Amino acid sequence: MSHSKYQSPLTSRYASEEMAHNFSEDKRYITWRKLWLNLAIAEKQLGLTDITDQAIEEMKANLDNIDYGVAAAEEKKRRHDVMAHVHTFGLVAPAAAPIIHLGATSCYVTDNGDLIIIRDGYDIVLKKLARVIDILSKFAAQYRDLPTLGFTHFQPAQLVTVGKRATLWIQELLWDLRNFERARNDLKFRGVKGTTGTQASFMALFNGDHDKEFSTLTRDDPNAQIERLDELVTELSGFSEPYPVCGQTYSRKIDIDVLQPLSGFGATVHKIATDIRLLANLKEIEEPFEKDQIGSSAMAYKRNPMRCERACSLSRHLMTLANNALQTSAVQWFERTLDDSANRRISLPEAFLTTDILLTLLQNIFEGMVVYPKVIESRINQELPFMATENIIMAMVKKGGDRQVCHEEIRVLSHQAARVVKMEGGQNDLIERVKNTEYFKPIWGELDSLLDPSTFIGRAPQQVDSFLEKHVKPALAPYGGDLKAYAKAELSV
């Protein structure tokens, strides 16, 4: 790797090889060549031109034989990247040189190529997201019944369980999985539409070919021939159908549909990573911390949550990218303008690269997440006496006590205990005060059971079981093969 000029940290520092390749120049230009090959195959099949078998074979044999030096020189001379690569391809496939890009516009390869790369990008992140959900689901099952203090407004609230809290994270990730699948499966192909979407160039070609026999088409119907050409190229490129109409480009509204789910995933990650950062501060749950890892150059004791901090940082970037697609779509004049091109070269790859990086981060975090039950128990013990006051009142009433009198007694003791905690920095001694107050003698023997944390978590364990069985299991079923091909996530730096 060169150190003499700027490198995007998304590719040089964080991204997987798989996703980095998907948005590489090799992938982009090999995809263009495949599209030119598909167009030639379809045109030959329909008898449109004198495309020879040799031309097809030379194109097939040179899909990845790209001389980037020649392409760069051509682009500098012509100021047109597509024509530079048409020329470069023709040099290694000379029999095909006269018919490469025949009837097509630049967006035939640029837009169709982008749609292929976007589709492949979604295929990569879908399997990784399924793996992340699977790992976190095992964590939720393991800690389904471990009571922990719940928080609303980041203030102590009723108890939940560690596993139940994890299901809140999983549920949002499941929605992201659904949104990714929708975006991926909704993708269609730009197809063969010509310069302004009217297919006029292909009308001219087919109108000159009326003497040719077509086995599946009427002899004098160029419209049917062109529609079939569109369908054939779409099928050869791995899509089920093309967009029915377009201008010069596919509608940039499609990019909104592509980027919104990824940005939405960024919001999910930010929430999860923030929760873990807060829990790390409470010393209840921590992200992995390696044996030789340094938390601070000055404070040797520190265990900074760098993975979750990185996740929050990258998530904020990802969340902003959907706005780029909204702004671009809104200002596309008529059949197209070119002010979409430069920013799409940045926003589309960065959205997928960032999503990919975040998925690796999440996997790494969830694989090594550490839970500290004794700290969790200690914090529960600090707050549970206050939460148990209603149980104490009910127990006293069952013993014949007056509810209002009991309420006043426990209120006074609660305020005394709270003062010790807040003003003196002491431990919550409410239960000791109850044990030393004669009024509560009828229930002294029941206090331990009244303070059992497992009686304060409601149906949380059963909710975890039901959620995993009814919602997670079916959602992950299509990814069974990917989940079996399991490899631990390693952070490069």
200 & 254 share domain: no
Give domain status of residue 310, yes or no. yes
Number of domains composing the chain: 3
pLDDT of residue 2: 61
39 & 172 share domain: no
Give domain status of residue 143, yes or no. yes
226 & 279 share domain: no
321 & 295 share domain: yes
Long-range Cβ pairs for the range 5-8 (8 Å, 24+): none
Give domain status of residue 350, yes or no. yes
Pairing of strands 285-286, 155-161: unpaired
Which pLDDT tens digit goes with each residue over 12-47? Answer: 888 899 999 999 999 999 999 999 999 999 999 988
Which pLDDT tens digit goes with each residue over 341-351? Answer: 999 999 999 99
Residue keyed to tokens 């990008």: 121
217 & 352 share domain: no
| Residue 292's pLDDT band (cuts 50, 70, 90) | low
Give domain status of residue 7, yes or no. no
Give domain status of residue 318, yes or no. yes
227 & 275 share domain: no
Give domain status of residue 14, yes or no. no
Give domain status of residue 224, yes or no. yes
CATH of the domain at 266: 1.20.200.10
431 & 405 share domain: yes
367 & 221 share domain: no
351 & 264 share domain: yes
pLDDT of residue 485: 77
Which pLDDT tens digit goes with each residue over 137-177? Answer: 999 999 999 999 999 999 998 999 999 999 999 999 999 99
- Write b or e for each residue in 165-202: b if 16 or more Cβ atoms lie within 10 A of its Cβ, otherwise e: bbbebbebbbebbebbbebbeebbbbbbbbbebebebb
Which structural domain range is residue 97 located in? Answer: 20-104+192-236
State which of 203, 236, 269 marks the end of a domain: 236
Give domain status of residue 355, yes or no. yes
Pairing of strands 370-371, 155-161: unpaired
Helix (H, G, I), strand (E, B) or coil at 161: strand
Which residues are marked as active site?
153, 296
CATH of the domain at 440: 1.10.40
141 & 115 share domain: yes
CATH of the domain at 226: 1.10.275.10
- Specify whether the CB–CB gap between 262 and 355 falls below 8 A: yes
